[in-house]
Amino acid sequence: MALTLIAVIFFATSSRISADRIEALEKSVAASSNVASIVAANLGEVFGRTTIYTRLSTTFLEQAHDEQPAVNPLALGDAAFLRMAIFDADGKLAYSSSRRGIEPELQLFARTVLFADTPPSLVIGGMGGTVARDPQTGWRIPVAAPLISGQRRIGAFAGYIDLGYLLALYKEVSLGTSSRIEIIDSRGIQLAEMADGTVSAGRDLKRTGYASFIGSTGLSGTVDGTRPGDSGASIGVFRKLDHFPLVVTVTRDRTAVLDELKPRNIQYLIRAALISLLILLASAGLIVLAQRQRGLNAGLTDSEARNRTLINQLEAEKVRAFQLASLDFLTDIPNRMKFYELAAIELSRARRSRRLTAVFFLDLDKFKVINDTYGHGVGDLLLQQVATRLRLSLRGHDLAARLGGDEFAVLVSDLDNDEAVAIVARKLVASLSLPYLDLDGHDLDVTPSIGVALYPGDGEEIDTLLSRADRAMYLAKQSGRGCFRFYEASLNATSARSAELVSRFARAMRDGEFCLHYQQRVACADFRPVGLEALVRWQHPEHGMIFPGEFIELAEQHDCIVALGNHVIDMACAQVANWQMLGLVVLPVAINISARQLRDETLPDIMTACLKKYAIPATLIEIEVTESCFIEQPELAEKVLRALDELGMRISLDDYGTGFSGLSHLKRLPISTVKIDRSFIRDIRNDNSDAVIVSSTISLSHNLGLKVVAEGVETRDQVVHLKTAGCDELQGYYFHRPAPASEITALLRHPAAYAA
């Protein structure tokens, strides 16, 4: 960049210099041209004067020499002429201005015009070569002219013209050094030259490039060439005289012209050099700066890279430390701490799901004996194998952890039912009971004992679930090891028991093994009971009381639900009639209707028949349906529901929020109440999104003219919150647990005593 700039500067300088040279040469030529014009005019005028002298001389001869003196330059005051002489027709001297008796040189010259056949009117010396050219005096040019009287040649006039004198007049005209004025004749012989104040003559310029104008037709023009004997070229102009065969040149040495420019050129060059130097210095400075900056940058990048490496190292160490803290050092699966953390996340996810989450507590049977017999090394290898097998028998998102010693925990979510849980448990037992081969050379047979706790049935916190699974594990140990046990003892033979329950449904209904418990619903405003919900229980002769969670689904699966449902309707109506008979103010009783029942077109008739049978008004019976009732054959379900509504029953939408439909979608259904599912109520104080769902459900329901009931209200905080949110009615353990009819009877007798 800098170099380009310098190149440009020097290019500009050199073009400036050459432009200046051209200009200087042109100026010099122009000045020469002026001087040449003046000299040529002057010279023409001097030569022109010979005409006057010729005429005077003719008169002198005609008047037979009596007049004195005819032509005398001194007398005439003509400094350009040196001497003059007049010769008669025979060539004899008739008059001489020098008053000498003889004028041999002029006489010789006069004869050239006297005896020539057709003489020109003026002959200029040096042309004929008859006069010797003396370089010192050679600028004295002889001229001769014939004297004519009538038709006769009566004599000749001759004289010397002092061209040196003439040129000396221009001494003062400054053309600069090495300038010269020349007078050249038509053959290229230099008649006179004045250079640097000195007059000389005699150079032969014939046939030189310098005098090429001699042969040309141009009257004036430039001269540019080297004179013979000169070392350098001259430049200037020539000018030919109009009436005489003479040329004036005014020239200067080309080098002299150009030399005058030298100081200026040197100035230019110095200036260019200085600017270049400045540019170079600036560039150098910039380069140094840039290098320093680069150095700084490199340093910065360097330290940044070092920092990043350090940060990465720290990060890696942190991750490692965290993994160390959260992974079991021996088996590389999560430790107790990590299990709690992950399980809590999993449970909060499971809250929304209707599916089961199971916590398995595993303990190896007789592990202590193995440790004591084979040593800790083998014990450790065994634990590692157990961890590997656990991992292999579980799905990717299931959670396995070592709690410590020979205790492991497993959390499996998204299970359909108890049977699915049992399948997982059985699989774990089977996988962990396979022989452990070549543990440091020992083959071992070990079995696990597994305890199972279910979320949410057995607990909702991971602590609770784990401690209940632990307790169930002891049951498994007591039952002979190498097996699993549910925390809720009733589940321990699930599949067998399910089969038994299914086969017993019909008989159980007949034998009156089903009964209803009733849970009160209270008004949010004053907590006074406003209704009851009938919840079915199975009073099993062998298993004791079984809750609907275990058998409703079974009944649905085995087509017993319609019969069971009708049985419940009958029992509820009978109970209402019973309370009526006792003269109590009866609260309306809500009956849960499952999807299958709602697709039974006879349901409204059955209901009507039942009301009639027990002589109770339809307003004392309410219906609870869930959104899932409208998935299959929704038109039919809707039709049945409408018929029930027409009977005059209040209809509630149960478990609201766990389903799929928005409220507005259900607008067309004859629903008067929405029951918000208890999973939303549980965390309403802590979980912001739950709180938002609840309050927006309440306000939206109110907009649609629906009443809102909150289910599963367990704490005072929840009550306060729901009250503030504008909920209409509340139901939950905080107020009343489901209770047998006898307890409700007592309540109806003394409502005040039971008010919350």
Residues of this chain that interact with ligand C2E (CB under 6 A) are 519, 535-536, 547-549, 552, 565, 568, 592, 594, 624, 654-655, 678, 711-714, 731-733, 738
Q: Give the nearest distance from C-beta 747 to ligand C2E in angstroms.
A: 16
Of 530, 581, 573, 568, nearest to 747 (Cα)? Answer: 530
- Closest to ligand C2E by CB, 57 vs 718, is 718
Residue nearest to ligand C2E (CB): 732
Say which entry of ligand C2E, Ca ion, none residue 451 contacts (CB below 5 to 8 A, set by partner kind). none
Q: Give the nearest distance from C-beta 562 to Ca ion in angstroms.
A: 18
Determine the Cα–Cα distance for residues 352 and 145; give it in Å rounded to an integer. 146
x/- site string to Ca ion, residues 632 to 671, per CB under 5 A? ----------------------xx----------------
Of positions 182, 185, 406, 624, contacts Ca ion by CB under 5 A: 624
Say which entry of Ca ion, ligand C2E, none residue 714 contacts (CB below 5 to 8 A, set by partner kind). ligand C2E
Q: Give the nearest distance from C-beta 649 to ligand C2E in angstroms.
A: 15
Say which entry of ligand C2E, Ca ion, none residue 470 contacts (CB below 5 to 8 A, set by partner kind). none
Q: Give the nearest distance from C-beta 677 to Ca ion in angstroms.
A: 6
Say which entry of ligand C2E, Ca ion, none residue 338 contacts (CB below 5 to 8 A, set by partner kind). none
Q: Given strand 220-225, what is the order of strands in its sheet?
A: 198-200, 190-195, 179-185, 246-253, 234-240, 220-225
Q: Give the nearest distance from C-beta 548 to ligand C2E in angstroms.
A: 4
- Closest to ligand C2E by CB, 565 vs 659, is 565
Of 184, 221, 224, nearest to 205 (Cα)? Answer: 184
**Which range in 402-410, 436-444, 551-559, 587-595 contacts Ca ion by CB under 5 A?**
587-595
Say which entry of ligand C2E, Ca ion, none residue 462 contacts (CB below 5 to 8 A, set by partner kind). none
Say which entry of ligand C2E, Ca ion, none residue 389 contacts (CB below 5 to 8 A, set by partner kind). none
Contact 401, 333 (CB under 8 A): yes
Q: Give the nearest distance from C-beta 563 to ligand C2E in angstroms.
A: 12
Q: Give the nearest distance from C-beta 603 to ligand C2E in angstroms.
A: 12
Distances (CA, A) of 195 to 5, 43, 361: 46, 17, 132
Q: Give the nearest distance from C-beta 545 to ligand C2E in angstroms.
A: 11
The tokens for 654 are: 């149960």
Of 656, 526, 670, 530, nearest to 590 (Cα)? Answer: 530
**Cis link prior to 604 (omega < 30° from 0)?**
no
Q: Give the nearest distance from C-beta 432 to Ca ion in angstroms.
A: 39
Q: Give the nearest distance from C-beta 515 to ligand C2E in angstroms.
A: 11
For 592, the enclosing helix (H) or strand (E) is strand 589-592
Pairing of strands 514-523, 739-740: antiparallel
Residue 697 contacts Ca ion per CB under 5 A: no
Q: Give the nearest distance from C-beta 592 to ligand C2E in angstroms.
A: 4
- Closest to Ca ion by CB, 535 vs 719, is 535
- Closest to ligand C2E by CB, 93 vs 560, is 560
**Which range in 200-208, 467-475, 600-608, 711-719 contacts Ca ion by CB under 5 A?**
711-719
**Which range in 38-46, 239-247, 267-275, 592-600 contacts Ca ion by CB under 5 A?**
592-600
Determine the Cα–Cα distance for residues 408 and 362; give it in Å rounded to an integer. 5
Residues 6+ apart with CB under 8 A from 317: none
Contact 448, 473 (CB under 8 A): no
Contact 201, 191 (CB under 8 A): yes
Say which entry of ligand C2E, Ca ion, none residue 11 contacts (CB below 5 to 8 A, set by partner kind). none
Per rule CB under 5 A, count of chain residues that contact Ca ion:
5
Q: Give the nearest distance from C-beta 393 to ligand C2E in angstroms.
A: 32
Q: Give the nearest distance from C-beta 546 to ligand C2E in angstroms.
A: 10
> Cα-atom radius of gyration of the chain, to the nearest Å?
71
Coil/strand/helix, residue 245: coil
Determine the Cα–Cα distance for residues 151 and 113; give it in Å rounded to an integer. 15
Q: Residue 188: left if φ>0, alpha if ψ -120 to 50, beta else—which one?
A: left
What is the number of helices (H) and of strands (E) in the chain? 21, 28
- Closest to ligand C2E by CB, 390 vs 713, is 713
- Single-letter code of the amino acid located at 252: R
- Closest to ligand C2E by CB, 600 vs 624, is 624
Coil/strand/helix, residue 740: strand
| Sign for the pseudo-dihedral over CA of 214, 217, 220, 226 | negative
Say which entry of Ca ion, ligand C2E, none residue 536 contacts (CB below 5 to 8 A, set by partner kind). ligand C2E
- Closest to ligand C2E by CB, 13 vs 519, is 519
Say which entry of ligand C2E, Ca ion, none residue 159 contacts (CB below 5 to 8 A, set by partner kind). none
Of positions 592, 594, 673, 718, contacts Ca ion by CB under 5 A: 592
Residues 6+ apart with CB under 8 A from 473: 361, 362, 363, 449, 450, 451, 485
Contact 176, 257 (CB under 8 A): yes
- Closest to ligand C2E by CB, 187 vs 543, is 543
- Closest to ligand C2E by CB, 86 vs 535, is 535
Determine the Cα–Cα distance for residues 273 and 270; give it in Å rounded to an integer. 5
Distances (CA, A) of 78 to 7, 104, 250, 467, 491: 63, 23, 25, 154, 162
Q: Which residue in the block uniquely carries the two structure tokens 């497993």?
A: 410
Please state the separation of Cα 41 from the chain's center in Å. Answer: 85
Of 222, 161, 234, 169, nearest to 199 (Cα)? Answer: 169
- Closest to ligand C2E by CB, 470 vs 711, is 711
- Residue 656 backbone phi and psi in degrees, to 5: -65, 135
- Closest to Ca ion by CB, 402 vs 650, is 650
Q: Give the nearest distance from C-beta 322 to ligand C2E in angstroms.
A: 36
Residues that bind Ca ion (CB under 5 A): 592, 624, 654-655, 711
